[in-house]
A = this chain, B = another copy of it.
């Protein structure tokens, strides 16, 4: 038996609805496979938890999580709890403490999903964005001065280290090198941001020397964003700093059908710490518990988790089944269908059963 442990943090709102289906699909697959067992532990850390306890998770939260193989997170956020509380109290500390320095977001149009781009199909939209997930523009270093006067001002530092830059670039070059296209696009803005971005470019060129087969293009973030719309078919692997990656991945999600579908994986490649898998969509409290949330992103996350475990066959079966269901049009209201959250999950399970 291959054994894995997962910390479940459904969080708030529809996070709870979609993680339930994701878990169901995972469980069904394990049962079908027979050779894999998953142990779950459920945590109610969320904004609701915050309203009761004054914090998003217990003080020893990270310590509790640290020995799991992975964290499966729904969404956090609730009206009345400021963003910076829910994020800096849970999401961002997990990413940083567990050295989840890689954020992977596939920009892949699933079968059955319509792109908002004219005349673009599954063959045009299939690449991966690797986002630096620990440093850069999200340094939290900076401050404010002269508040309350005419001279009021704020400064924020972007911090790029060799350590942080090399490791994300190596990961991205590795990924590009393993593929058939072997083409890496690195986002920059060295024409306008004249310290950190030339530094980044320099390391792109340096690491490239260790991957002579990978063709590399360094593209300014403004142009690159526009190319996601005008020529998304040219990309293979895209690597970007924390902020640029944040922007590109949401944009990537948009061109393949929107946030409701997009998964993300926060990876500690060394597996020294747990990695975290979370849908990109938020907690959408207005539709929570109504059975209409789309669990596609959560299921896709589960399949990325299997990939991370090295279970690529099972991961492929799950994605295949998911796309079969989408293609048959048995979809939730956001995609124009009538299926409930639960029915959709059930259909994916049914499809998987048919493949064993």
Closest to A282 in B: B223
Q: Assess whether A152 is in contact with B162, with CB atoms less than 8 Å apart.
A: yes
- How distant is the Cα of A284 from the Cα of B151 in the complex, in angstroms? 42
Contact B161 A153, beta carbon cutoff 8 Å? yes
With A83-B190, A191-B87, A223-B250 already in contact, the answer to whether A162 and B151 are too (CB < 8 A) is yes
Residues of B near A189 (CB, < 8 A) are 243, 246
Decide if A158 is an interface residue (CB 8 Å cutoff): yes
Give 1 or 0 for each of A116-137: 1 = CB within 8 Å of chain B CB: 1111000000000000000001
Which residues of the other chain, B, contact A246 by a CB distance below 8 angstroms? 189, 192, 221-222
Interface check A194, CB cutoff 8 A? yes
Provide the bound-state CA to CA distance between A191 and B90, in Å: 13
Most interface-central of A87, A88, A249, A250 (chain B CB within 10 A): A250
Contact A222 B250, CB 8 Å, known A115-B118, A158-B156, A162-B150: yes
Q: Which chain A residues numbered 217 to 245 have a C-beta less than 8 Å away from chain B?
A: 221-223, 225-230, 242-243
Option from B115, B154, B254, B255 in Cβ contact (under 8 Å) with A196: B154
Within 8 A of B (CB), among A196-214: 196-199
Q: Is the CB of A159 within 8 A of B155?
A: yes
Q: A241 → chain B, closest Cβ, in Å? A: 11
CA gap between A242 and B115 in the complex, in Å: 30
Is residue A42 within 8 Å, beta carbon to beta carbon, of the partner chain? Answer: no
A143 at the interface (CB under 8 A from B): yes
Q: Does A32 belong to the interface (CB within 8 Å)?
A: no
> Across the interface, do A152 and B144 meet the contact criterion of CB distance under 8 Å?
no
Q: Could you tell me if A195 and B142 are in contact, using CB atoms closer than 8 angstroms?
A: yes
A163 at the interface (CB under 8 A from B): yes
- Verify A153–B159 contact, CB threshold 8 A: yes
CB distance from A223 to the nearest CB of B (A): 6
Closest to A149 in B: B162
Distance (Å) between the CB of A212 and the closest chain B CB? 23
Most buried by B among A222, A242, A259: A222
| Chain B residues with CB under 8 A of A163 | 150-151
The residues of B that contact A158 with a CB separation of less than 8 Å are 142, 155-158
Out of B118, B138, B154, B190, which one reaches A199, CB within 8 Å?
B154
Contacts of A191 in B (CB 8 A): 83-84, 87
**A171 on the interface (CB 8 Å rule)?**
no
Say yes or no: B243 contacts A226, CB within 8 Å: no
A192→B242 CA distance, assembly (Å): 10
What 1/0 flags go to A290-308 for Cβ under 8 Å of B? Answer: 0000000000000000000
Besides the known contacts A156-B193, A192-B246, A222-B246, 16 further A-B residue pairs in the complex with CB atoms under 8 A apart: A83-B190, A84-B190, A116-B229, A138-B193, A140-B195, A144-B195, A144-B199, A153-B162, A154-B160, A155-B158, A155-B159, A223-B259, A225-B225, A225-B247, A226-B251, A228-B254
A residues sitting closer than 8 Å to B (CB atoms) are 83-84, 87-88, 92, 114-119, 137-138, 140, 142-144, 146, 150-163, 189-199, 221-223, 225-230, 242-243, 246-247, 249-251, 253-255, 258-259
The 4 closest A-B pairs by CB, nearest first: A226-B254, A142-B195, A154-B199, A222-B250
